[in-house]
C-alpha cells in the first residue's frame, strides 16, 4: 500500500503490514483524532524470522525535510505504529485557527529516522504544547524529540528508550521547554538534553518562562560511553532538575586515567541546576558565566546525595574547561564505598 491509498479512515485503524509513504501525510486541523496500528516494534522484513504483527509506515519520499505524518490539529492520539527511514517521523506543525498539541504518542517505534518527533518549524511559531510520550523507542535516530518554537512547552516523556550508534542529541531544544523526562533508558547517545544556541534557533531561543527541564530515573548503558547529560550551547536563564542518573563508571574512569576527564554537565550563564542521587566523576561539570556591565550571570549548582569517585567534592569541576564564576553547594555526598564526603559551599572563580 502506498501514500495515495492510505486514507485517514485507514490510519484510524491501521492493519498490520508495510505501508510505503512517498510524500508527507497531512492530518487535517481537527479537534480529536486517532492513528492506531496493531503494534509498534523493531522492523523485521516480510517472511524474515521473528517477523511479528506490526503496522509499519516506511518512508520512500524525496523531500529531505519530509515527515511521515504532519499533525495540524489538537487532541491527536498516535499508538502502536512503527515509523521507518524518514527525515522526521511525526511533525507537529502550526496553523492559524485551532491550537496544536495536547496529544499523546504511545507504544510507538521509530527506526532510522533523522528526528523521531519534531515540534514547530521556527522560533516564532505558536502553540505546539502539552504532548505526552509513553513507551516510545527511537532506534538509530539522531534525535528522539526536537523542539523548534518558543511556545513548544509541556512535553512529558515516560518509559522511553534511545538505542543505535546514530543517536546524537536525544532531546534537542532550539526553543521552547518545560520538558519532563522519567525512566529513560539510554543505550547509545552523545547527549541527553541539548540546549542550542540563539544563533542556531534563529531568534531568542529559550526564555525564563519556558526554561524548565526535569530528568529523573535515567539509566545509561555502558554502550553509551561518556554520553553528556546536559549541554548548554548558550547562556540561558533556565532551571534544570536532575535526579537518579546512573552512569556506569568504566568509560568515565578510563577517560580520567588517560588525563582527559569527560563532561557530564556543560552549563552556561545563569542556569540553576540541582543534581540528586546520581553518579558524578572527576571533572564532569564545566561552566561559563555571562559577563555583564553590572553583576555577571553565573551558574548555581546544587548537589545532594550523589556518589563521587573522589574524596574532595570540589574535584567534580573541570576548572581547566570552565570560565568565570559559579556558586556551588554540595551536601550529603559519598564515595562509591559509602564513605561520607565533607559538605562544601561557596563561590568558585577560574
Residue range 137-173, pLDDT digits in tens: 999 999 999 999 888 889 999 999 999 999 999 999 9
Instruction: For 33-43, write each residue's pLDDT tens digit.
Output: 999 999 999 99
Residue 175, pLDDT score:
92
Asked, for residue 32, whether it belongs to a domain, the answer is yes
Query: Would residue 349 count as lying in a domain?
Result: no
Which parts of 148-298 are beta strand (E)? 153-163, 169-173, 177-186, 191-195, 212-220, 228-232, 239-246, 265-268, 272-276, 279-280, 285-288
Average pLDDT over residues 185-193: 98
Q: How many residues does the chain have?
A: 350
Is 253 within a domain?
no
Q: Which three cell numbers stand for residue 337?
A: 564505598
Burial 141-165 (b: 16+ CB within 10 A, else e): bbbbbbbbbbbbbbbbbbbbbbbbe
Average pLDDT (330-339) is 94
- What's 12's DSSP letter? H
Compute the distance between CA of residue 186 and CA of residue 138 in angstroms, rounded to an integer: 10
Domain-located, residue 76: yes
CB 44 within 8 A of CB 58: no
Question: Which three cell numbers, joined as nine digits, stand for 25?
Answer: 501525510
Is residue 163 within 8 Å of 140, Cβ to Cβ?
Answer: yes
Q: 281 lies in a domain?
A: no
pLDDT at 5: 60
Q: If you average pLDDT over residues 170-197, what whole number do you get?
A: 96
Mean pLDDT of 22-29: 90
- Could you tell me whether strands 153-163 and 129-134 are parallel, antiparallel, or unpaired per DSSP bridges? parallel
- What's the average model confidence in pLDDT over 74-98? 90
DSSP secondary structure, 159-189, as one string: EEEEESTT--EEEEESS-EEEEEEEEEESS-
Is 203 inside a domain boundary?
Answer: yes
The residue assigned the cell 492510505 is 6
**pLDDT at position 28, please?**
84
**CA nearest 36: which of 7, 12, 2?**
12
Q: Sort strands 17-21 and 55-59 into parallel, antiparallel or unpaired.
A: parallel
* Structural domain contains residue 48: yes
Cα 246 to Cα 221: distance, rounded to the nearest angstrom: 9
Q: What pLDDT does residue 97 have? A: 63
Identify the domain containing residue 122 by its residue range: 3-247
Which of left, alpha, beta for 37 (phi over 0: left; psi -120 to 50: alpha)?
beta
List the CATH number of the domain containing 174: 2.160.20.10
Does residue 283 surpass a pLDDT of 60? yes
Q: What is the pLDDT of residue 1?
A: 47
Domain count, the chain: 1
Average pLDDT, the chain: 92
**pLDDT higher at 9 or 302:** 302
Q: Which residue has the higher pLDDT, 99 or 224?
A: 224
pLDDT digits (tens, 9 = 90+) for 286-329: 999 987 777 778 889 999 999 998 888 989 999 999 999 999 99
Q: With respect to residue 20, please indicate whether it lies within any of the assigned structural domains.
A: yes
Sequence-ordered list of residues with C-beta below 8 angstroms from that of 121, at least 6 positions apart, any chain: 93, 94, 148, 149
Query: Biggest alpha carbon distance in the chain?
Result: 68
pLDDT at 197: 94
Residue with the bigger pLDDT between 4 and 137: it is 137
CA 114 to chain centre: 14
pLDDT for the residue 98: 67
Asked if residue 2 has pLDDT above 50, the reply is: no
**DSSP string over 104-165:** EEES-EEES-SEEEEE-SSTT----EEEEEES-EEES-SEEEEE-STT-EEEEEEEEEEEST
- 203 pLDDT exceeds 80? no
Query: Which pLDDT belongs to residue 181?
Result: 98
Amino acid at each position: 500500500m502506498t501514500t495515495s491509498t492510505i486514507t485517514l479512515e485507514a490510519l484510524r485503524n491501521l492493519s498490520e503490514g508495510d505501508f510505503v509513504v512517498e510524500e508527507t501525510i497531512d492530518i487535517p486541523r481537527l479537534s480529536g483524532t486517532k492513528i492506531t496500528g496493531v503494534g509498534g516494534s523493531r522492523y523485521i522484513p516480510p517472511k524474515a524470522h521473528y517477523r511479528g504483527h506490526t503496522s509499519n509506515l516506511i518512508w520512500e519520499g524525496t523531500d529531505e525535510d519530509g515527515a511521515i505524518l504532519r499533525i495540524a490539529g489538537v487532541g491527536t492520539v498516535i499508538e502502536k505504529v512503527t515509523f521507518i527511514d524518514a527525515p522526521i517521523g511525526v511533525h507537529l506543525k502550526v496553523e492559524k485557527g485551532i491550537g496544536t498539541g495536547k496529544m499523546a504518542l504511545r507504544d510507538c517505534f521509530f527506526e532510522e529516522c533523522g528526528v523521531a518527533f519534531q515540534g514547530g518549524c521556527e522560533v516564532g511559531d505558536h502553540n505546539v504544547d502539552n504532548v505526552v510520550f509513553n513507551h516510545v523507542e527511537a532506534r538509530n535516530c539522531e534525535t528522539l524529540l526536537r523542539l523548534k518554537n518558543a511556545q513548544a512547552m509541556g512535553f512529558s516523556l515516560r518509559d522511553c528508550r534511545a538505542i543505535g550508534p546514530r543517536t546524537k542529541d536525544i532531546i534537542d531544544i532550539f526553543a521552547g521547554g518545560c520538558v519532563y523526562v522519567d525512566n529513560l533508558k539510554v543505550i547509545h547517545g552523545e547527549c541527553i538534553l541539548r540546549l542550542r544556541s540563539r544563533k542556531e534557533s534563529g531568534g531568542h531561543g529559550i526564555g525564563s518562562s519556558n526554561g524548565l527541564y526535569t530528568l529523573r530515573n535515567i539509566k545509561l548503558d555502558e554502550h553509551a560511553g561518556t554520553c553528556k547529560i546536559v549541554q548548554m550551547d548558550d547562556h540561558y536563564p533556565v532551571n534544570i532538575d536532575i535526579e537518579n542518573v546512573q552512569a556506569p563508571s568504566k568509560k568515565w574512569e578510563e577517560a580520567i586515567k588517560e588525563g582527559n576527564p569527560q563532561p557530564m554537565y556543560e552549563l552556561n550563564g545563569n542556569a540553576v541546576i540541582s543534581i540528586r542521587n546520581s553518579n558524578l566523576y572527576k571533572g564532569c561539570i564545566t561552566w561559563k558565566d555571562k559577563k555583564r556591565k553590572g553583576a555577571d550571570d553565573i551558574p548555581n549548582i546544587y548537589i545532594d546525595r550523589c556518589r563521587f569517585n573522589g574524596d574532595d567534592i570540589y574535584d567534580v569541576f573541570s576548572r581547566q574547561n570552565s570560565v568565570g564564576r559559579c556558586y556551588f553547594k554540595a551536601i550529603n555526598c559519598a564515595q562509591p564505598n559509602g564513605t561520607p564526603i565533607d559538605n562544601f559551599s561557596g563561590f568558585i572563580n577560574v
